[in-house]
Amino acid sequence: MGLPATASVGFVTGATVANFVCLAAARSEVLRQVGWDVEADGLFGAPPVEVLIGADAHATVFSGLKYLGLGAQRVRTVATDDLGRMLAGDFERQLKAAQGPLIAIAQAGQINTGASDPFAAIAPMARDRGAWLHVDGAFGLWAQAAPSRAVQTAGVELADSWATDGHKWLQTPYDCGYAIARDPEAHRRAMAISASYLPPAAGAERDPSAYVPELSRRARGFATWAMIRQYGRAGIAGMVERCCLIAAQMAARIAEEPGVALVCPVALNQLMIRFGADDDDERGDALTLATIGHLQADAVAFIGASQWRGRWVLRCSVSSAATTDAAADETVASVIGAWRKARTNAANSRYPQP
């Protein structure tokens, strides 16, 4: 992924816990810089930690803030563009307005659009301010693995921590995620567990429990190693590229159907479709949800609904190695068939026959 070779990695259950771990390291370090030991003294009486976050951040990041006592609603929200990317100008304004210890949270791969924040612009600002910059990169961070897609995450390596999933593009079992930190000491300080019956690691030996919240867990590192060994660097890059191409092709074909609109260009592997595009917003919502209902009943592919800017859309994420061109064709046909059924049913309901 082109991240610092000296970064530490904790093998966790997924990006939700990875975000929590990285934000714990961030909390530890920004408070240490102002002379506060949060691991020893907790948050009672600690200098308030301010958090900057994009307006279109994923819900799991707010969960991490809640778990850490930083508050899901005690944040400074940075304005975003039409693809959900933070606006660098507003990020700078919020940085200047913030006081005291500061954590900034960016994202690689917005859950609906697939777009990433402008890391090359915001990372130097965060560093100059002394803020810890964390990146929620559940699926989008894998753009780094494909040379043709890495431009979308340019500058992400300048951040201080990164969270991502293995069960998406690396094809590991579902509960595999990675908490990655530039500062291994801050990572260990936030997570390490000590007890008399737990022997310390010898010499340079890595103690895996020093980078995660739990002691009892399965060996996720083995599954990760096995998949990297199987695919290799070129195989992973090819898989990412192929999924992105399939997503773009699916979106273009579905959007050719009358009454269907592609909500935004396909930036990575996410496509977002709106049905009833020629109708008013409320009717479009109803037609979109009805289409998704028919699609799921068809059982060719499971694709769900999401909300974007307050309106319902169909959101599809292509990240499986098993997704072939033929499977994509079947899915497109099922989506179009579901839309036609929803449109026909709505017309018959609106204009009942005698």
Tokens of 289: 């949800």
In order, the DSSP letters of 267-292 are -SSEEEEEESTTS-HHHHHHHHHHHH
In order, the DSSP letters of 40-63 are HH-STTPPPPEEEEETT--HHHHH
Rounded to an integer, what distance in angstroms lies between the CA atom of residue 71 and that of residue 68?
A: 8
For 58-100, write each residue's pLDDT tens digit: 999 999 999 999 999 999 999 999 999 999 999 999 999 999 9
Residue 332 pLDDT: 97
Q: Which domains does the chain have, with CATH numbers?
A: 8-218 (3.40.640.10), 233-350 (3.90.1150.170)
Residue 196 pLDDT: 59
Rounded to an integer, what distance in angstroms lies between the CA atom of residue 167 and that of residue 175?
A: 7
For residue 230, count CB atoms less than 10 angstroms from its CB and return exposed for 0-12, middle for 13-18, buried for 19 or more. Answer: exposed
Q: Spell out the alpha helix ranges (H) of the chain.
A: 15-32, 38-41, 59-67, 88-97, 119-129, 184-191, 220-255, 281-298, 325-350
Rounded to an integer, what distance in angstroms lies between the CA atom of residue 160 and that of residue 181?
A: 6
Tokens of 181: 């930190």
- SS3 call for 99: coil
Measured on CA atoms in the order 275, 278, 283, 284, is the torsion positive or negative? positive
- The one-letter amino acid at 102: L
- Could you tell me the pTM of the whole model? 0.94
Q: What pairing do the DSSP bridges indicate for beta strands 311-317 and 132-136?
A: unpaired
172: left (phi over 0), alpha (psi -120 to 50) or beta: beta
98, 50 contact by CB (below 8 A): yes
- SS3 call for 327: helix
Residue 353 pLDDT: 46
Residue 346 pLDDT: 87
27, 103 contact by CB (below 8 A): yes
Residue 354 pLDDT: 42
Rounded to an integer, what distance in angstroms lies between the CA atom of residue 292 and that of residue 196?
A: 55
For 176-186, write each residue's pLDDT tens digit: 999 999 999 99
Per-residue confidence of the chain (354 residues) as pLDDT tens digits? Answer: 999 999 999 999 999 999 999 999 999 999 999 999 999 999 999 999 999 999 999 999 999 999 999 999 999 999 999 999 999 999 999 999 999 999 999 999 999 999 999 999 999 999 999 999 999 999 999 999 999 999 999 999 999 999 999 999 999 998 999 999 999 999 999 998 876 567 777 777 788 888 999 988 888 899 999 999 999 999 999 999 999 999 999 999 999 999 999 999 999 999 999 999 999 999 999 999 999 999 999 999 989 999 999 999 999 999 999 999 999 999 999 999 999 999 999 888 765 444
